Chain A
């Protein structure tokens, strides 16, 4: 369980995190969404006690991170920025971390096998690919068998096989009753792994809802209609004052009228229907909608375009 209350962090005159309050509950995967630069990594660092909040508090299992007597047993973290000495082998890196908590060597070996680094455990971490580095980061996060996991952009730089591996790992960790908090700027990734979403933009909370609720809230209430008599249906709808317009390959996009009512209307006028599909917003679209007012996000879009 992670609880943030009024969490705020300034770097000089720039406010990176602005009055964030949210809970991350055990047993589910909570996705932490936001465009790049929205304050996700800063929030992670505040949770881990690496940075001190300017105002507000954040606790893990009811305690501030710095007050945890055995933090690796309570929280495992994978930060976005690499946190490994490039000149040290994967094995010695994990061993040094394990020793701070009296974790036995056997556990280090087991984790190296689990994340698939057995072949390269003796090599210097500086020689690792991005994917291998992520696996090493996951291994250090799991070292203390923690109840809570914080993962900052874990799929970054992973190949499809690695991404699949992370997804399943996150799900199985949550299924074991753990608290899993995973950040990403990729909405599509979150739609596959997360049950609950905390969405931020420019350091502020935009949404804190289940994935379904998030989508429902952002759904545009559009129905896609296909008919061999599309033109007649279009004029019928428009005559009834309903917003409708032709879409791709002869279909119609009807806004503001439930699919059921469109079907009834067509039946009354004996217009055959071939398709009647309520359009659900994708997580991607929902996210765009919610962050539309976000200046930095718009700037980012322009930069990408």
Chain B
């Protein structure tokens, strides 16, 4: 018995090859399928549920309450919930490599290391966007169908800013994934990564309400959660960033998270 007398092409490691490898890794574990499934169900399901609830209670709502409702807020409500599934998966995509030891195989195959991080990030962001974009579009379509039957909260997809806002919902989820992936790579531990992610996105914002409101108003818009939310809000409040500013700030957080992960990946022992 010996080792197969084949003549293998002696190809070198390239970024496209690492991208293909990371795509294989992503699609071949169950956590990916379950997390994306959960994200899709939440992105579509919650807007439908909320639309029905708003529609059935519409006649009992005060005019002021009615005026506070924005059709896009309802259509994109699922995004807020789905970000948890995407964030957890983002952490897991890298932290599971550390917990199982897979990282050693990954790093011996690609000893320059950074291509693995770039490819993981790119594949995860693109897959998230490609899967969630139809979901947010479907959520918009379904909630509008539910509203239109009662002639409430109607808005056209071609109305200025609507298409951009709906697409931004999917883009936000992709960036949340990138942000979480960076945290997972920094912390290198699933529980720690998820806790850090949830802490930054969900725990810090309410704490700021304890500060004097002038502080809160000055700081809050720049928090990851609020800046990200500005991306997919058509009518931002007076203390919120504009969609493009929100996008820029949130992109900055995601980039900073990956940049720190990259610096640590090069420095640390595996």
The verdict on B207 contacting chain A, using a C-beta distance below 8 Å, is no
Q: Which of B3, B18, B30, B108 has the most CB of A within 10 A?
A: B108
Spot the interface stretch: A49-57, A197-205, A218-226, A233-241. Answer: A49-57
Q: Closest approach, in angstroms, between the C-beta of B226 and any C-beta of chain A? A: 35
B12 in contact with A70 (CB, 8 Å): yes
Assembly CA distance A107 to B103 (angstroms): 22
The verdict on A263 contacting chain B, using a C-beta distance below 8 Å, is no
Q: Closest approach, in angstroms, between the C-beta of B117 and any C-beta of chain A? A: 14
B25 in contact with A96 (CB, 8 Å): yes
B4 in contact with A114 (CB, 8 Å): yes
B3 in contact with A173 (CB, 8 Å): yes
B13 in contact with A83 (CB, 8 Å): no
Given contacts A92-B28, A96-B21, contact A71 B100 (CB under 8 A): no
B102 in contact with A95 (CB, 8 Å): no
Residue numbers in B under 8 Å from A84 (CB-CB):
100-102, 105
Assembly CA distance A69 to B14 (angstroms): 9
B6 in contact with A110 (CB, 8 Å): yes
B20 in contact with A99 (CB, 8 Å): yes
A101 in contact with B109 (CB, 8 Å): yes
Q: How many residues on the B side are at the interface (Cβ–Cβ under 8 A)?
A: 39
Q: Tally inter-chain residue pairs, CB-CB below 8 A.
A: 139
A99 in contact with B24 (CB, 8 Å): yes
Binding site for A on B (CB under 8 A): 1-4, 6, 8-14, 17-18, 20-22, 24-25, 28-31, 96-97, 100-105, 107-112, 269-270
29 A-B contacts, Cβ less than 8 Å apart? A48-B111, A49-B107, A49-B108, A49-B111, A50-B269, A66-B112, A70-B10, A71-B110, A72-B108, A72-B109, A79-B101, A83-B101, A83-B103, A84-B100, A84-B101, A87-B96, A88-B29, A92-B24, A97-B21, A97-B109, A100-B13, A101-B11, A102-B9, A102-B14, A104-B9, A114-B1, A144-B8, A168-B1, A176-B2
Given A83-B104, A101-B13: 11 more A-B contacts, CB < 8 Å: A70-B11, A71-B110, A85-B96, A87-B30, A88-B25, A89-B28, A97-B21, A100-B110, A103-B9, A165-B1, A173-B2
Binding site for B on A (CB under 8 A): 45, 48-52, 65-73, 75, 77, 79, 81-89, 92-93, 95-97, 99-104, 107, 110-111, 114, 140, 142, 144-145, 165, 168-169, 172-173, 176
